[in-house]
Chains A and B, each alone.
Chain A
Amino acid sequence: MLSENLPPKAHPLEKLLRTDRLPHIWCPGCGIGIALNSFLRAVKKLNLDPKSIVLISGIGCSGRASGYVAFDSFHTTHGRAIPLAMGVKIARPDLKVVVFSGDGDLFAIGGNHIIHAARRNLDLLVICINNFNYGMTGGQLGPTTPFSSYTTTTPYGNIEHPFNLVHLTAAAGASFVARWTVAHPIQLARSIEKALNKRGFSFIEVIAPCVTLYARYNKLGRPPQIIKYLKEISVIEKSMDSSKADIKIGNKIFVGEFVDVERPEYVSELYRVIREKSGRKIDSLVR
């Protein structure tokens, strides 16, 4: 009733979205939209030129994000978003290259690439939506599914142990590592801002509910209850130790920024060699 009397107002992030592709495919209550919103808010806050951003994703629910943003974007094969992004970044170091994808895409089928990108300290921001299962294919066991919880391929409870994503990327050499949940959209956007300004490999895990599958199989309640629950069980400690940030059923979830260090970055080193050997001031492979 009220809205009928108001002039139509554009969404504050409309200019950063391909509005002609809406509505999106994500389920009502899904956390991916919140994470994407935080990312776009960070882009807006930093006043980045949309033409200078490339968003690359793999396959899965989160992988669909690349199709909704008004940047150059590539929806790659399953698991290969990071190496494809690496190709873009090496050829055009002036572009901000961001990988936005899911936990299965980045840590199961694509697991090798994330540890090597972190090891190289490649200037890349990876935003990983961790929803504890494979959503697109119907809720199967993923590399992050908590021990003993239920999925369609662990009908008797999960007998595997999940990765601790922040500890894994920290150990592999990432310069910046953070974790938030979708109950922390403001803090998440701030960490993304920081990561976008960081020269090096940045990894941000976003814990998000898969309300249709994982949450339902594990009786976690309706979306509002889950968001409330995520807020309640999340804790920020003064000494952020990623090794203690395992996710276990019934435990607290440690959130915040775990790593923020400086070390030589891959693309800068690569161009140092190219400039030395070619004797030319090259800052891009595209002429």
Chain B
Amino acid sequence: MKKFLKGTFFMQGDEACAEGAIVAGCRLFAGYPITPSTEIAERMARRLPEVGGAFIQMEDELSSIALIIGASYTGVKAMTATSGPGFSLMQENLGLAVMTETPIVIVNVMRGDPSTGQPTRAGQGDVIQARRGSHGDYEIIALAPYSVQEMFDLTIEAFNLSEQFRVPVIMLSDAIIGHMREKVILKTPDEVKIVNRKKPKEPPGKYLPFKPEEDLIPPMACFGEGYGIHVTGLTHDIRGYPASTDPKVHEKLVRRLCDKIRLNADKIIRIDSRYVENAEIVLVAYGTPARSAIRAVNLARKKGLKVGLVRLITVWPFPYEYFRKLSRKVKGFIVAEMNYGQIVGEVERSVGDRKVVLASKLGGDPHTPEELLEIIGEVYKHVE
């Protein structure tokens, strides 16, 4: 096969994700088989050697994420892919990647959960876990593709964001998007934006590995570059040395790790909004439910209902400010999720006393546009 694929293809979401990673510059994948993400690993196993990269099948998800952290610290763009149970196992080292500011990409093709749940069916039960699953205060970036095209495009975006902000980036896909086949247009690296991490400007001896620049992100020296850096999950000072008993160092570090995302949120957040300008109510969705939501909003508009759509491309950081502003002119919100209510809580936090209705769907089937249209009709009556 060619190094990079170019043009129009009929492809599975998981396969498009793998191709996106290769275009983004990913040259190392480590993972453990798990439905419904396995096709990403299988595609990477075949494709990476062709482009001069390494595929490694690990003994579990704990080691998969540990391996890509180690690889990233040599300067390689590295990723893993998993689903709910594996994502749970990765949580401790997700925190290590946050604390050590390691750029990595984790693809979570979500299935029905909790526990072993529904391996072959879709769900969105890991959205809060992606944000809060590891212990401690931190901020993270998570993207939610809603099409095979976005499995390709957002994987590139995920690598770019992780390199720019030195933070793990999570792709929150699901079994429907992962396994679905549809049209996708693949681009080559020279047709897309590729971001690489900042490198030190000072020579070894003068460089301080965790001294941030104005954007709160420290330039990253890598192993084998002669800097002799020490990296630890312990609270550390700007030299990278453990300082776990110093309250000031700890407070400063944790605040910076959060602030580098919080204060740059407007640069990170991407929203796909439709008809919100004159909307009475807004339907909020991300990932698979957004597909039905688009249809439902179009149907509602045909019936003369003033309904808008907000599709979250970036799930984390959540666009609190955007919803705060929107709530000034919108009377009610419907949040369609394939879980028992996760992002709905964030919407509630943002919109004051505005009515927020959860359109929950569990079991693996997506909402139908008709189901959403019915809820739109009911909410419309109440807010009118």
State in angstroms the CA–CA spacing of A83 and B62 once bound together. Answer: 9
Chain A residues near B71 (CB, 8 Å)?
87-88, 90-91, 285
The distance from the CB of B212 to the nearest CB of chain A, in whole angstroms, is 20
Whether A75 touches B234, Cβ cut-off 8 Å, given contacts A112-B60, A276-B49, A278-B51, is yes
State in angstroms the CA–CA spacing of A52 and B226 once bound together. Answer: 8
Chain A residues near B227 (CB, 8 Å)?
72
Interface bits B127-148 vs A (CB < 8 Å: 1, else 0) = 0000000000000000000000
Q: Which of A48-94 contact B (CB under 8 A)?
A: 50-52, 54, 56, 66-67, 70-77, 79-80, 82-88, 90-92, 94
Cβ of B67 under 8 Å from chain A: yes
The answer to whether B76 touches A286 (Cβ under 8 A) is yes
State in angstroms the CA–CA spacing of A56 and B223 once bound together. Answer: 11
State in angstroms the CA–CA spacing of A75 and B74 once bound together. Answer: 15
Closest residue of chain A to B58 (Cβ to Cβ) is A83
Whether A56 touches B75, Cβ cut-off 8 Å, given contacts A51-B228, A282-B52, A286-B224, is no
Cβ of B92 under 8 Å from chain A: yes
Whether A277 touches B49, Cβ cut-off 8 Å, given contacts A51-B224, A75-B233, is yes
The answer to whether B76 touches A285 (Cβ under 8 A) is yes
Cβ of B78 under 8 Å from chain A: yes
Cβ of B93 under 8 Å from chain A: yes
The answer to whether B49 touches A67 (Cβ under 8 A) is no
Q: Which residue of B48, B54, B68 has the most chain A CB atoms within 10 A of its CB atom?
A: B54
Whether A88 touches B28, Cβ cut-off 8 Å, given contacts A83-B63, A112-B60, A286-B75, is no
Question: At the interface, is chain B mostly helix, strand, loop or mixed?
Answer: mixed
The answer to whether B60 touches A286 (Cβ under 8 A) is no
The distance from the CB of B208 to the nearest CB of chain A, in whole angstroms, is 13
Closest residue of chain A to B64 (Cβ to Cβ) is A83
The answer to whether A21 touches B231 (Cβ under 8 A) is no
Whether A90 touches B56, Cβ cut-off 8 Å, given contacts A285-B76, A286-B76, is yes
The answer to whether A270 touches B54 (Cβ under 8 A) is yes
Cβ of B323 under 8 Å from chain A: no
Chain B residues near A72 (CB, 8 Å)?
223-224, 227-230
The answer to whether A54 touches B224 (Cβ under 8 A) is yes
The answer to whether A285 touches B54 (Cβ under 8 A) is yes
Cβ of B367 under 8 Å from chain A: no
The distance from the CB of B224 to the nearest CB of chain A, in whole angstroms, is 5
Chain A residues near B73 (CB, 8 Å)?
74, 87-88
State in angstroms the CA–CA spacing of A246 and B96 once bound together. Answer: 36
Whether A67 touches B27, Cβ cut-off 8 Å, given contacts A88-B71, A278-B49, A282-B52, is no
The answer to whether B96 touches A285 (Cβ under 8 A) is no
Cβ of A198 under 8 Å from chain B: no
Chain B residues near A66 (CB, 8 Å)?
230, 232
State in angstroms the CA–CA spacing of A179 and B29 once bound together. Answer: 35
Interface bits B96-135 vs A (CB < 8 Å: 1, else 0) = 1000100000000000000000000000000000000000
Interface bits B23-40 vs A (CB < 8 Å: 1, else 0) = 000011010000000000
Closest residue of chain B to A73 (Cβ to Cβ) is B230
State in angstroms the CA–CA spacing of A277 and B93 once bound together. Answer: 32
Chain B residues near A71 (CB, 8 Å)?
228
Whether A285 touches B53, Cβ cut-off 8 Å, given contacts A72-B228, A91-B71, A92-B74, is yes
Chain A residues near B70 (CB, 8 Å)?
56, 74, 83-88, 91
State in angstroms the CA–CA spacing of A113 and B59 once bound together. Answer: 7
Closest residue of chain B to A94 (Cβ to Cβ) is B224
Q: Which of A95-142 contact B (CB under 8 A)?
A: 95, 112-113, 116
A80 in complex: contacting residue of B66, B223, B230, B231, CB < 8 Å: B66
State in angstroms the CA–CA spacing of A94 and B224 once bound together. Answer: 9
Cβ of B69 under 8 Å from chain A: yes
The answer to whether B231 touches A73 (Cβ under 8 A) is yes
The answer to whether A77 touches B224 (Cβ under 8 A) is no
The distance from the CB of B352 to the nearest CB of chain A, in whole angstroms, is 41
The answer to whether B224 touches A95 (Cβ under 8 A) is yes
State in angstroms the CA–CA spacing of A76 and B228 once bound together. Answer: 16
Chain B residues near A80 (CB, 8 Å)?
62-63, 66, 93, 96
Cβ of A273 under 8 Å from chain B: yes
- 7 closest A-B pairs by CB: A87-B70, A83-B63, A277-B49, A87-B71, A84-B70, A75-B232, A83-B66
Give 13 pairs: A residue, B residue, CB < 8 Å, sorted on A. Answer: A21-B241, A72-B230, A75-B233, A77-B93, A80-B62, A83-B63, A86-B56, A86-B63, A87-B66, A92-B74, A270-B54, A276-B49, A280-B52
On B, residues with C-beta under 8 Å from A are 27-28, 30, 48-54, 56, 58-60, 62-64, 66-76, 78, 92-93, 96, 100, 222-224, 226-234, 241-242
